[in-house]
Amino acid sequence: MYDFGLLSPVWAGTRAAELTSDTAFAQAMLDVEVAWCTAQVKFGTAPESITAAVAAAGDIDDYDLVAIANQTPNGANALIPLLAAMRDKVAATNADAAAYVHRGATSQDIIDTALMLLTARVGEHALGHLKTSVRQLTDLAAAHANTVMIGRSLDQHAQPISFGYRVSQWIEALGSAGQHFETTLGNLPLQWGGAVGTSTWWVDYFRAEQPENDPMSLVNRQRELLAEELGLFPASVWHANRIPVTTVAQAAFQMVAAAAKLANDVLTAVQAEHAELAEPTAPGRGGSSAMPHKNNPVLSIRLKSAAQVAAGDLNTLHTGVIANTAERADGGWHTEWAALRDLLRTTGAVTEILAELTGGLEVFPEAMRRNLDIHGNYLMLGRITQWLGPVIEAHGGMSEGTGKQFVQTTCQQAIANGDDLAETLVANLPEGLVSVDAVNKVLDPSGYMGGAATIVAEVNSRYRKWSI
């Protein structure tokens, strides 16, 4: 019952969907509770004897998640019923142990920390696939550093570029977003503060038990043990400070946005009229029995849709964040959860799709060249003018601009008449000033890519090593 992804081709069937399922989230909540018991044992505030009973209650497959979901509205969170069930399980094995479960903690500690754990898990998965994608793209960029194609501005033919240059811009976006996300992943914060964030239970406890020590120092040291146990950063409490969750979500979205740009470009290039690229094929994918000529670019379609969905989820999260109040919000916090999870799920799925797409993208240099030639020498007018104008002016002692004017007029007429451009120009200029060969060299678009290959090399040097 409920949701498997039938309405979400973006993530249906992905590993990211599993890593971010309700089951995975509930497991993460159990993991936090178990780790907290472990931390108490390590710090000496709980007896070693509780370990087995607590560990035995730590597998989410032993819980009835539908029942827990049905009780979720009662307290407006899922931890309350899950914790009750967990305590029962622990107590069934070891009656004394149950008192240590969740001791001094609050729902928000567990839910926020579990979401960070989920982020770490799906984040590592996503980062791995992103790096794979970047690595594959650096290969592609290097291979096509000099493969000429038309560059487009405002979706229109502008000047020649190399395909490798276009790929380098995909890499730059994906790589910088990936590095930013990696930094964020390395600083995912533990949430731990008790009812209103001030650790009252534990401060009272340590005041009574270790009156000679500063209680908050003990609280903090115990918290560090928990953070270490979970692989999170032992941050100050952030119940009422939602910047950490905003940072994670924004960073994830950047990767999705970078992937969407790539997908948009692929979707244009695979159109039959362009035919510059093709998505990798796989059995059962993208075809249509009714229309055998179709190879639907489903990977790019999924990436494009993913970005629309992710932008919406980030927006929802932001809406929740700005409604934050007091020590725990009355609705805004609740809005964050699914928005963050859905965004992470989409992000993970995007990286899986991207790794597949970039691993098998087919490139058709001939088609690139054919499309480039649609406007023929019109494309080169700027260049020929830049080069030939000053030559003419220098020769004839003409004022600046006159040569430029002459070149433009002559060229446009030649193109309009269908005459050979180089021959027409040479014929209209003083003999010996320029040769047909020299003009033709300037008219060769493959020589008119500026620093494309250099930019490819620079970008690869920035991201290649990181991606391996």
Does the footprint of its own copies cover residue 392 (CB under 8 A)? Answer: no
Structure tokens at 327: 């020590």
Q: Which residue among 243, 366, 417, 431 contacts its own copies (CB under 8 A)?
A: 243
Among positions 48-87, residues that touch its own copies (CB under 8 A) are: 65-66, 68-78
Check binding of 301 to its own copies (CB under 8 A). Answer: yes
Tokens of 396: 């004839």
Q: How far apart are CA 418 and CA 437, in angstroms?
A: 19
Total of residues contacting its own copies (CB under 8 A): 175
CB 147, min distance to its own copies, A:
14
Q: Is residue 116 within 8 Å of residue 139, measured between CB atoms?
A: no
CA angle 123, 21, 319 (to 5 degrees): 70
97 and 55 in contact (C-beta within 8 Å)? Answer: no
Stretch that binds its own copies, among 41-49, 132-140, 225-233, 300-308 (CB under 8 A): 300-308
For residues 36 and 337, which CB has a smaller minimum distance to its own copies in the complex? 337
Among 211, 212, 326, 432, binds its own copies (CB under 8 A): 326
Q: Is 328 a catalytic residue?
A: yes
Q: Token pair for residue 28?
A: 């993460």
Q: Which of 56, 143, 257, 278 is the binder for its own copies (CB under 8 A)?
A: 257
* C-beta neighbour count of 402 within 10 angstroms: 14
Q: Candidates 41, 53, 85, 161: give the one binding its own copies (CB under 8 A).
A: 161
Helix (H) or strand (E) holding 148: strand 148-153
* Given 14, 45, 410, 424, the residue binding its own copies (CB under 8 A): 14
467 touches 142 (CB < 8 A): no
Q: CA–CA separation, 268 vs 249, rounded Å?
A: 29
Chain mean position to CA 15: 16
- Which 181-240 positions form the footprint of its own copies (CB under 8 A)? 194-205, 208, 214-216, 219, 236-240
Report the first-to-last Cα separation within the chain, whole angstroms.
Answer: 41
Residues 259-288 that bind its own copies (CB under 8 A): 260-261, 263-265, 267-268, 270-274, 282, 284-288
| Segment 363 to 382, residues that bind its own copies, using CB under 8 A | 371, 374-375, 378-379, 381-382
Which of 56, 142, 298, 433 lies at the binding interface for its own copies (CB under 8 A)? 298
Min CB(141)–its own copies separation in Å: 13
Residues 101-120 that bind its own copies (CB under 8 A): 106, 108
Q: In sequence order, what DSSP letters do the residues of 41-64 get, joined into one string?
A: HHHTSS-GGGHHHHHHT--GGGS-
